[in-house]
């Protein structure tokens, strides 16, 4: 499906506007922190995100505002791209630099890591694999987050889950470094393209284990989710400047987002009215089952439609009042 340019939604009072906001998260913030600050800037409690980032990580968060939170379900499962630095020669309790050290590898083993060995180890992580998430992930175990159980002193081992890692590209030359205690380590910068649910920390851990030296993540930046690049995102400071200057947030119109995610169904005014009232419309030539993005003659996202026995049926509708003019 061709990607359309992402166009900010028309200006409306913040509390009434609906759209998608691309945020470039800085390090040290949780995804919840970003949502909370965006709620204040947007003047609404109806803000959600599509996929968390750890405090260590920076980069793209896709936020939905008001009724556009309904689109986040379809963003969560998109493929993702990351830039990361993997440190080989030392492991930690969290598989990243925020955890406690689990010891360092023998210096001779670290010294023996050459480019060929690194390429082979990272290649074992590419493709359809079963990955065991980090024990301090946000996965729930009996209703409680795994990281909360670990903090409470429990020994948590999560079940493996299938993930798809399309690509791991080694960027530049590996760097020979030393820890604060003088132990040798090797830092490798990588670009990873993977399915939703993949843990980059686990890749660092598993590559280190494959090499027999241990490994963990020292930096992580999410650069893309599906068709949405971090280069189109704004930092929280930039978003705050928008509102301080009296401008509205650069929300992307739901219709423009839907065109990125789904095949488009251009509906007539009569069809829009019927779908809005829960009725089905005849679509004898439509292929597949949906969802299709139903776009009105005015260019508004009416909702998402599925095909049932040659008829279109609404599965998600978007309220028209959130598309009112600037002074609504």
Place of tokens 């030393």: 178
Helix (H/G/I), strand (E/B), else coil: 231: helix
DSSP H or E stretch at residue 312: strand 311-317
Structural contact between residues 63 and 88, judged by C-beta atoms closer than 8 angstroms: no
The pLDDT value recorded for residue 286 is 72
| Distance, first Cα to last Cα, the chain | 34
CATH fold of 80-220, please?
Answer: Pseudouridine synthase (3.30.2350)
In the structure encoding, which two tokens stand for residue 274, read together?
A: 């019927």
Q: How far apart are CA 315 and CA 289, in angstroms?
A: 11
Residue range(s) of every CATH 2.30.130.10 domain in the chain: 262-320
d(CA 262, CA 285): 17
Contacts of 123 (CB under 8 A, 6+ apart): 168
3-class secondary-structure state, position 239: helix
d(CA 319, CA 220): 37
For every one of its 328 residues, what pLDDT tens digit does the chain have, with 9 covering 90 and above? 444 456 555 444 567 789 999 999 999 999 999 999 999 999 999 999 998 898 999 999 999 999 999 999 999 999 999 999 999 999 998 899 988 888 788 889 999 999 999 999 999 999 999 998 876 665 555 556 555 555 555 566 777 899 999 999 999 999 999 888 889 999 999 999 999 999 999 999 999 999 999 999 999 999 999 999 999 999 999 999 988 888 889 999 999 999 999 999 999 999 999 998 889 999 877 766 679 999 999 999 999 999 988 888 999 988 876 654 443 3
Taking residue 303's Cβ as centre, other Cβ atoms within 10 Å add up to 26
Is residue 54 part of the annotated active site? The answer reads yes
> Nearest to residue 133, comparing CAs of 44, 230, 196, 201?
201
Residue whose entry in the numeric block shows the structure tokens 């929280």: 236
Q: What's residue 215's pLDDT? A: 96
CA pair distance 104, 96, nearest whole angstrom: 14
The pLDDT value given to residue 310: 86
Q: Locate tokens 């590419």: which residue?
A: 126
Nearest to 129 by CA among 210, 227, 55, 212: 210
Q: In the Cβ-directed half-sphere of 50, how many Cα atoms lie within 13 Å? A: 28
In this structure, how many other beta carbons lie within 10 angstroms of the beta carbon of residue 283? Answer: 20
Q: What is the pLDDT of residue 203?
A: 97
Query: In angstroms, what is the C-alpha Rg of the chain?
Result: 23
d(CA 108, CA 184): 9
How many contiguous H segments (helices) and E segments (strands) does the chain have?
9, 18
Rounded Cα–Cα distance for residues 223 and 231 (Å): 8
Which pLDDT score is estimated for 262?
94
Quick one: pLDDT at residue 327? Answer: 33
Instruction: For residue range 259-284, list pLDDT tens digits in order.
Output: 999 999 999 999 999 998 889 999 87
Rounded-to-integer distance, Cα 243 and Cα 246, Å? 5
Q: What is the pLDDT of residue 25?
A: 97
CATH 3.30.2350.10 domain span(s) along the chain? 14-78+226-253, 80-220
Eight-state DSSP code of residue 108: H
Neighbours of 144 (CB within 10 A): 12
Q: pLDDT tens digit string along 289-321?
A: 679 999 999 999 999 999 988 888 999 988 876
The CATH number given to 14-78+226-253 is: 3.30.2350.10
What is the pLDDT, as a whole number, of residue 149? 54
Length of the chain in residues, anyone? 328
The one catalytic residue in 24, 33, 54, 95 is: 54
Which class in CATH covers the domain with range 262-320? mainly beta
Q: What is the DSSP string of 232-260?
A: G-B-HHHHHHHHHTTPPP-PBPHHHHHHH
């Amino acid at each position: 499906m061709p990607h359309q340019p992402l166009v900010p939604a028309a200006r409306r009072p913040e509390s009434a506007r609906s759209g998608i906001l691309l945020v470039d998260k800085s390090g040290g913030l949780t995804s919840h922190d970003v949502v909370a600050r965006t709620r204040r800037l947007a003047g609404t409690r109806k803000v959600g995100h599509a996929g968390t980032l750890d405090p260590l990580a920076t980069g793209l968060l896709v936020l939905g505002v008001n009724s556009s939170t309904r689109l986040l379900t379809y963003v969560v499962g998109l493929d993702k791209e990351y830039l990361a630095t993997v440190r080989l020669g030392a492991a930690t309790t969290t598989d990243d630099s925020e955890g406690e050290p689990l010891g360092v590898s023998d210096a001779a083993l670290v010294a023996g890591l050459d480019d060929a060995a690194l390429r082979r180890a990272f290649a074992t992580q590419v493709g359809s694999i079963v990955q065991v998430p980090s024990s301090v992930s946000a996965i729930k175990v009996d209703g409680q987050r795994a990281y909360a159980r670990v903090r409470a002193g429990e020994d948590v081992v999560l079940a493996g889950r299938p993930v798809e890692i399309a690509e791991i590209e080694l960027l530049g030359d590996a760097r020979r470094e030393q820890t604060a205690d003088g132990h040798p380590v090797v830092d490798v910068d990588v670009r990873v393209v993977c399915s939703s649910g993949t843990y980059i920390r686990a890749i660092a851990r598993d590559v280190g284990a494959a090499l027999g030296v241990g490994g963990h993540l020292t930096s992580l930046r999410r650069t893309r989710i599906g068709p949405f690049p971090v280069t189109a995102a704004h930092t929280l400071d930039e978003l705050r400047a928008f509102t301080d200057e009296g401008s509205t947030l650069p929300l992307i119109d739901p219709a423009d987002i839907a065109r990125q995610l789904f095949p488009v169904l251009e509906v007539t005014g009569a069809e829009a009215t019927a779908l809005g009232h829960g009725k089905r419309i005849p679509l004898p030539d439509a292929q597949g089952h949906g969802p299709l993005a139903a776009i009105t003659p005015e260019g508004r996202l009416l909702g998402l439609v599925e095909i049932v026995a040659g008829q279109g049926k609404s599965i998600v509708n978007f309220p028209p009042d959130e598309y009112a003019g600037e002074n609504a």
